[in-house]
Amino acid sequence: MAQTMLATHSVARSSPAVFASASRKCVGTPKSMDTRKSLQAETYTPRGTLSSRGTVKLRYPRRAVRMQAARQATVAAVKTVTEEVTVTINRPLGMALAEDRRGAVFVEELVEGGNAEKAGTVEAGDVIVSCGTSADALTAAKDFDTVMDTLGSNPESETMSLVLSRTTKVELPPGDVVTAIIDGSKELQVEPDSILRDVLLDSEVDLYTNSGKMMNCGGGGSCGTCAVAVLEGMDQLSEKADTELRLLKKKPDMYRLACQTVCEGRGNGTLKLQCKPK
């Protein structure tokens, strides 16, 4: 887990009988909480050409776009599943806690031979939802201080109950061919893990407006002119990349950038698209 340490200080009021480690840390999101894996695209210098209208068109190497889409397809083959579990552990708990940038308190590590490890019900990366001396007296884990106060209270109690949120990744089966219906009429068969823009252009779909034809970036994900509206079948597509979230932040949720979208093909579904949405 790549972590950027922002601040660390000892929590003096915590008792060694409660934790093996009670330091507060502001760190990056733990791997198990990473619900959408970040795609770090390589840096490419676009090629600029001057159009007849005197405007500059930026085109990115097709290889760069395909490599980015391949990374998206790899990530898209994994589904994130989150569940809540309630555990009861003897004191001292034998775990180290940390706080991420969003304020969530999670289990950073288990102490070897400690009660948490012996219980076998707690995993590093679990997020504390609530905690208390019993399952009937739980306090919401609003922040790090609240969790520490709660876990350090009632020292006469021999056990602590915790509700943990646990995120796991499940590998999905290979994709299936998807039927895409374009603008209510044209029907295409889309192979799994295909870049949506490539499929549409290869099938001679009129993807761009007149201005988009002149100004599009060639599939580099920098212009936003290849936007389509997904009327049905959003579950067949990869999650929105950071580029889409940035360029489409003022558009309806159904909008996608065809050059950044991979058709996963899950369960022989149907995909209905509207090109050049207004």
The answer as to whether 64 is a domain residue is no
Reported confidence tier of residue 125, pLDDT bands at 50, 70, 90: very high
Buried b (16+ CB within 10 A) or exposed e, 139-149: eebeebebbbe
CA distance 44 to 223: 15
Position with higher pLDDT, 144 vs 50: 144
Specify whether 160 is located in the same domain as 188: no
The answer as to whether 165 is a domain residue is yes
The answer as to whether 57 is a domain residue is no
Q: Which has the minimum average pLDDT: 50-59, 111-120, 224-233?
A: 50-59
Domain range for residue 136?
Answer: 8-35+79-171
What's the pLDDT at 268? 66
Specify whether 218 is located in the same domain as 121: no
The per-residue pLDDT of the chain, averaged, comes to 76
Last residue of a domain, one of 171, 200, 223: 171
Last residue of a domain, one of 120, 154, 171: 171
The sign of the dihedral angle between the CA atoms of 122, 125, 128, 133 is positive
Q: Which has the minimum average pLDDT: 11-15, 182-186, 188-192, 248-252?
A: 11-15
pLDDT exceeds 90 at position 75: no
Last residue of a domain, one of 155, 171, 187: 171
Beta bridge partners of 255: 229
What's the pLDDT at 31? 43
The answer as to whether 223 is a domain residue is yes
Q: What are phi and psi of 70, to 5 degrees?
A: -65, -40
- CATH number of domain containing 85: 2.30.42.10
Q: Which has the minimum average pLDDT: 66-80, 168-182, 191-205?
A: 66-80
The answer as to whether 146 is a domain residue is yes
Number of structural domains found in the chain: 2
Q: What are phi and psi of 122, to 5 degrees?
A: -120, 140
Specify whether 261 is located in the same domain as 204: yes
Specify whether 31 is located in the same domain as 145: yes
